[in-house]
A and B are shown apart, each in its own frame.
Chain A
Amino acid sequence: MVNTAISVKDAVVSYREDVALRGVSLEVASGEFVGIIGPNGAGKTTILTIINGLGKLHSGQVRVLGKNVTSRNINFIRRRVGYVPQVEHIDPRMPISVREVVMIGRYGLLGLFRRPGKNDWKIVDEMLELVGMDHLARRPIGHLSGGEQQRVAIARCLAQEPELFLLDEPTAALDWKAQTEILELVRQIHDARKLTTLFITHDLGALPVTCDRVILMKDGLIWSEGFPVKLLSDANLSQLYDMPVSVVKKRRGENILV
C-alpha cells in the first residue's frame, strides 16, 4: 500500500516562452479527493498532465503510485491513471462507436497482441450503464452532445480500472442538473473503488460537497490549500480571481439561485 499517491516537488513546466508551472509542490495521499480551482491559465491542466506524463517537466520531480514519472515507468503509470481531458470537438463522421471508445480504456491493460475478450466487453457495458449511456452504446461517438461525451469519457476511464482518477473540468459541458449528477457519480465511484481523485473545476458550489481538500491555483503556483468550507471564502476568491469582494458575493449569490 502506497500512502502517498502523488508527490510533486518543485515542478517547473514551460511552453515556449510561457511558464505554466513555477515550482509547484503537492502531495496527495491515497484515497483523497482533491479539487483544484483557479482562473484560466493558472496551470491547472498542466498539473494533471505532468502526473500522467503527457506534459514535460522542465525541472522538478513527480512520483506517482510510488514510481518516478520517467519514460521507463510511464506506461506502468498511465495504465493505472485514468485521465478525463476537457471536452473537445469530435468529428461527427469519425468511424468509431461509443462502445469502442470506452473499450480504448482497456487497451493499455490488455497490452500488445491481445484482443478484447467477452469479459472486457462486459466491463465496458457495465461502465456505460453506470454513467447512464448504455442506450447510446452503438452510436458514433461524434453524434453525442458534449455532456454525453463527458459521461462516455468517464466510462472509458472507469473501464481502465484505474487507481488514480484525474478529471479536467468534468462538468464544464454539462447542464446544472447533470453537473450534480456527474459529481455525485464521481464521488460514489471514488468511495466504492477506493480511488484517489484529483479534479479541476470551475463549479465552486460543488467543491464543499465532494472534496476532502481544495487547492487554489494562480499564475502557475499553488496559492493556497485546505478544507473547502474555510478556504472558499469571498475574500480568498476575490483575490484569486482579481475581483472585488462585493462582485464575488453577488456572483456566488446568483450561482446558488441558478
Chain B
Amino acid sequence: MDLSVFGYQFMQNAILISFLAGITCATIGVFVVLMHMPFIGVCMAHAAFAGALLGLWLGFEPLIGAFIFCLLAAAIIGPLADRGELNPDTSVGIIFSLMLGLAFLFMGLMSGSKSGALELLWGSILTSTRSDIIFLSVVVIIVVGLVLIFYKEIQATLFHREMALSVGLPATIILYGILFLTGTTITASLRSIGGLLIFSLILNPAAAAYQLTYSMKRMFLLSAGFGVLSGWIGLLFSYLFNVPSGATIVITSSVIFMLAIVFSPKRKVKKWQGKLLSEKG
C-alpha cells in the first residue's frame, strides 16, 4: 500500500481537520444526544448551509452567512427547547424544511457555476486551507475549554434541566450556550465537512458512545475518539478506493455506531433481563 500521499500538505491538512472536527462535532453530539434533541443538529446544519448560500449569492463571506443563520435557528429553537415544546416531528421539522427551502431558493437565484454551493453541501476536506484549520482550532479550544470549566453545570443541565434550575444553576444560560456552540462548531466545519454530512459527524459518534458507557465523562471521551477515528478511517478509505471522503467518513461513523450497538453492554442488560423473565415464565 502506497502511503506516500500522507506526506503531502493537503493530506496533512485533511488529517488535522478531521481530528479537530471529530472532537468538536462529537462533543456537540453528546449535548444533543443527552438532551434527546438530535434534531437540533440537523436544523442547525441546514440553517448554516442556507446562510452560506445566501453569502455566495449576494457575494459576502459564506461562513458569516452560515453563522448568522445558525444564530437565527438557535433563536427559534432555544425558546421552544426551553419550554419543552421541541419535538422532532413538528416544530423542528418545519424549521428544517424552511432552511432547506431557503437553501434551494438561494441556489436557484445564484447565477453562474453552482460548484461552490455543492462544495458547501458535500464539503471538501482535501482542499482545506490554513485559515480553516486555525478557525476550527480556536473553536475546538473554546468548546473543550468550556466543557472542562463548566462540567458540573453542563452535566446537571444535560441530565435534567428543571432539576439543574431548581438547585440554583444557570441551566437556561447553559442551554443557550450549547445552542451557540453548536452553531459555531457547524460554521467552523461547514467548508470542510459540508452541510449534509456534518450532522452525521455530530450524531453518530455520540450515539455510539451512548451505547457503551454509564459515565458522562467517558461518553465525552469515547465520542471524541469515535469522531476522530471516523474522520481518519474515512480519509484512508477515500484514498484507497478513490471515492469521495465525505461519504467514507459518514459511512465509517455509521459502522462504528452499528458496532457499538452490537457490543453495547446496555443491550446485554436487556437480554439478560429477558432471559430471567423467560425462565420465570
Contact = CB atoms under 8 A, between A and B. Distances in A.
Interface of A: 52, 54, 74-79, 81, 83, 85, 91-97, 100-101, 104-105, 107-110, 112-113, 115-116, 140, 143, 156, 160
Nearest to B170: A75
B216 A96 contact: yes
A95 B216 contact: yes
Given A95-B210, A95-B214, A96-B216, A54 B162 contact: yes
B169 A93 contact: no
Interface stretch (B52-60, B148-156, B185-193): B148-156
Contact of B213 (A54, A92, A95, A116): A95
Contacts of A94: 34, 159
B36 interface: yes
Interface of B: 34, 36, 149-150, 152-153, 155-156, 159, 162-170, 210-211, 213-216, 218-219, 266, 269
Nearest to A105: B167
Contact of A78 (B159, B166, B211, B269): B166
Nearest to A88: B160
Given A96-B159, A112-B150, A75 B168 contact: yes
A107 B215 contact: no
A101 B150 contact: no
A74 B166 CA distance: 10
Residue among B150, B152, B159, B167 with the highest chain A CB neighbour number at 10 A: B167
Which 3 pairs show the lowest CB-CB distances between chains A and B?
A: A108-B168, A78-B168, A108-B167
Nearest to B151: A115
Contacts of B169: 107-108
A212 B149 CA distance: 45
Say whether chain B's binding surface is mostly helix, strand, loop, or mixed.
helix
Contacts of B162: 54, 85
Most buried by B among A107, A113, A140: A107
Given A54-B166, A104-B163, A108-B169, A95 B152 contact: no
A152 B126 CA distance: 51
Contacts of B269: 143
Contacts of B167: 78-79, 104-105, 107-108, 160
Given A54-B165, A105-B167, A108-B168, A95 B153 contact: no
Nearest to A83: B166
B155 A100 contact: yes
A94 B266 CA distance: 10
Contacts of B214: 93, 95-97, 140
A16 to B, nearest CB: 11
A90 to B, nearest CB: 8
Contacts of B164: 104, 107
B238 to A, nearest CB: 32
A244 B253 CA distance: 63
Given A54-B162, A95-B215, A104 B36 contact: no
B159 A113 contact: no
B226 to A, nearest CB: 15
B174 to A, nearest CB: 11
28 contacts: A52-B166, A54-B165, A74-B168, A75-B170, A76-B168, A78-B165, A78-B167, A79-B167, A83-B166, A93-B210, A93-B211, A93-B214, A93-B266, A95-B210, A95-B214, A95-B215, A95-B216, A96-B155, A96-B216, A97-B214, A97-B215, A107-B152, A107-B153, A110-B152, A112-B153, A115-B152, A116-B152, A140-B214
B156 A107 contact: yes
A113 B149 contact: yes
Nearest to B217: A95
B20 to A, nearest CB: 25
B169 to A, nearest CB: 6
A187 B280 CA distance: 40
B87 to A, nearest CB: 16
Contacts of A110: 152
Contacts of A112: 150, 153
A142 B153 CA distance: 20
Contacts of A143: 269
Given A97-B215, A112-B150, 20 more contacts: A52-B166, A54-B165, A77-B168, A79-B167, A79-B168, A81-B166, A83-B166, A85-B166, A95-B34, A95-B210, A95-B215, A96-B159, A101-B159, A107-B153, A107-B156, A107-B167, A112-B153, A113-B149, A115-B152, A156-B163
Contacts of B215: 95, 97
A198 to B, nearest CB: 14
B168 A91 contact: no
Contacts of A109: 168
